[in-house]
Amino acid sequence: MAIIIDDQHRIFTLQTKNSTYQMKADAQNVLLHSYYGEKTDSSDKSLLYWRADRGFSGNPYEIGKLDRTYSMDSLAQEYSCFGTGDYRITSLRVQNKDGSQVSQLRYVGYEVQEGKYAIPGLPAVYAQNDEADTLILRLADPYSGLEVELYYGILTETDIITRAVKITNPGTDDLVLQKAASMNLDFEYGDFQWISFYGRHSMEMNFQKEHIHHGIQSVGSVRGSSSHQYNPFVILCEDGANETMGSCYGFSFVYSGEFLIEAEKDQLDRTRLICGIHPDNFSWTLSHGDSLWLPEVMMTYSGNGIGTISQNLHKTIREHVCRGKWKNKRRPILINNWEATYFNFTGEKLIEIAKQAKTLGIELFAMDDGWFGNRQNDDAALGDWFPNEEKLGCTLKELAERITAEGMQFGIWLEPEGISEDSDLYRSHPDWVVGAPGRKPCLSRCQWILDFSRTDVQDYMIERICNLLDGIPVSFVKWDCNRAICDKYSGMLDSSRQGEFAHRYVLGLYRVLEKLTEKFPEILFEGCGGGGGRFDAGMLYYTPQLWGSDTTDAIERLSIQYGASFGYPVSAMGTHVSMVPNHQTGRVTPLSTRGCVAMAGMFGYELDISKLSAEEKAEIKEQIALYKKYSDLIQNGDYYRISSPLEGMCTVWEIAHPSGKEALVSAVYHHVQANPAPIRVKVQGLNDEASYQLSLTENFKENYPNRRLPYGFGAGETITGAALKQVGFVVPEAANGFQAWQIYICAK
């Protein structure tokens, strides 16, 4: 069973396929955390913990004078509160009517439900009733009456436990939440490192691994979105853990707004991890009967290294977060006109791009920025979502029909959250702009932000986009947001409730996306936040793929896609082949390398076809044929990081079929040396006893002139899965700078 309850001792044990999570309500009705790790029995793990009198660690009054060993400052708690004598970072901080900030949550009961809970208005993991179970633990403050329900969803097969919190005020006095985290996890022992992902616009998801030291470490965002700067996903692992060895824990926040993930190692060498909405811009008033649901956290444990953490999350996001028609279906190979034309295009130019793209095997044309209002650059017209028929030379419907008549699908770019000062929408509704009264809002990319916390703004945008898309053959929508949010203020909120703005904005965004995806289930929506500024599991609930970065340089994308792979599946990331010299870096890389890197995601192009040579066009045809051949393996296979772009000469990754029948290994030289040492790949995910044949994929067979291929690549040569795992094979040497290879491995 996924949930084992010992009613006599009030012990709650959650079991997945390979992990165990345990809590206990003690004699004082404090909910303690007992264990999370390798799967074990349901016996009381809290008995193994040592209590002692810790100087300056206070004791609850009800304990009395005799037991100085019982202190909130040293107990492993399931959901910690400020003001209880616990001096560590805490999950919940509430201001009472008298101004005090003390809460004392005590256990009052539990409930078990078949299936996985859902969260009103928020994205959450979903599952069939026979795939998941839910445990609800109820806590209450005996003084204020505040009620807190802790939700646990258990997905046994993918080793996922989800956490969510519902907070209710049944009392007559208003209570103000000043901090309300979704997860608290205490470790009684362990020397941990944590992996987080930092970055900036056009250089997101940089991997960093640090020791958890004494004190507080954190990553987060106060930018209105999850941000380019830090991703709402971290890994905690034992010292020395790597891809295939060691105990590791993964935590992914299913939320697209401001967040804070904190880790503290205390004076007793215990580690606490807290994840939730960032408290700096947050306060929430609960009046009588009001409730607030907090966003969900996905947790997973592996005793076999970081790679398993990634695979658990990949499978869960693909099958239990992404929804709709496109979650498992092959995505169309698209071409986007942005880097080909920027704002300088006509309808005829777009049709010509689509025609040429069709001859190469590309399936969808996506029209980017500049098609609406008086939009000739990024200074004006954002918010005026009416086609510029003079620029297009026809209606939007006519343009879409002409492109689809060429045998191409049609897609469109939108940025509904932004507004230009020079726009008809602003002139009609200046009060819809986010900004403090009497002050001009801060500009970014010459634009402001629409107040999506307002229901009237949400309703307008739903109606406007529905009217825009209705009756037009649109197959793809790219939803962009090209600035962070500051000047946080809404005219629809009282002055005492402005701390609710940032979260209400995200709730409004989710409502709009829910309505649109319900209305247009056939459309593939791609999320984007100026590239990777909103690359999170929350957005994947509404848009099954995300634009990973505005950088299209293949070598830079190696580290971006490497970082993203730790928490997100290949199917989540939009990846494009672009022109050289690259528009962001000026780097020149072979077309074969750009194609190889882009095939580690949802494949597409972003270039001016008219500037390609006949040889390049022929190579693109080969790339597309290759991607279509292996698309199911790429999109749904098990992903393995073999070597990192942050070290050595060559980045290598592998995607293996879950059955072990085949695998595709990709290798890109990001550095080239004379007389190089061999690059050896130990293949994972194969069957030990089976025999396999190695071959270069079709588009790379001709790229190795006058050089001898390593052993194992010859016709008829076979190698066992065990040998490939233990000994591996050698990647062919680089024939030139930034050389790439793709090796197909198939059972014979």
Rounded CA-CA distance 91/180 in Å is 6
Round to the nearest angstrom and report the end-to-end CA distance of the chain.
39
Which residue in 607, 606, 532 sits closest to 573, CA to CA?
532
Which residue in 107, 131, 84 sits closest to 33, CA to CA?
107
Rounded CA-CA distance 291/735 in Å is 63
Count of beta carbons in the 10 Å neighbourhood of residue 514: 15
User: Which residue in the block uniquely carries the two structure tokens 């994972």?
Assistant: 684
**Residue 32 near residue 76 (C-beta atoms within 8 A):** yes
Angle 614-636/347-360 helices, nearest 10 degrees?
A: 70
**Residue 91 near residue 163 (C-beta atoms within 8 A):** no
Q: Which of 131, 608, 616, 698 is catalytic?
A: 616
Max intra-chain CA distance, the chain = 87
725 token code pair: 């795992």
Rounded CA-CA distance 227/256 in Å is 9
Mind giving me the DSSP string for 230-279? B-SEEEEEETT--SSSB-EEEEEEE-SS-EEEEEEE-TTS-EEEEEEE-G
Indicate if 238 belongs to the active site: no
648 token code pair: 């050595």
**Residue 704 near residue 698 (C-beta atoms within 8 A):** no
* Length of the chain as a residue count: 748
Rounded CA-CA distance 713/694 in Å is 5
Rounded CA-CA distance 138/140 in Å is 7
Buried-exposed string 344-377: b where 16+ CB fall within 10 A, e elsewhere: ebebebbbebbbbbbebebbbbbbbbbbbbbbee
CA 2 to chain centre: 26
Strands 160-168 and 291-302: antiparallel
146 token code pair: 């505040």
Q: φ and ψ at 729, to 5 degrees?
A: -130, 165
230 token code pair: 């830090």
Indicate if 632 belongs to the active site: no
CA dihedral sign of residues 594, 599, 600, 601: positive
Q: Which of 147, 258, 296, 536 is catalytic?
A: 536
Catalytic residue IDs: 536, 616
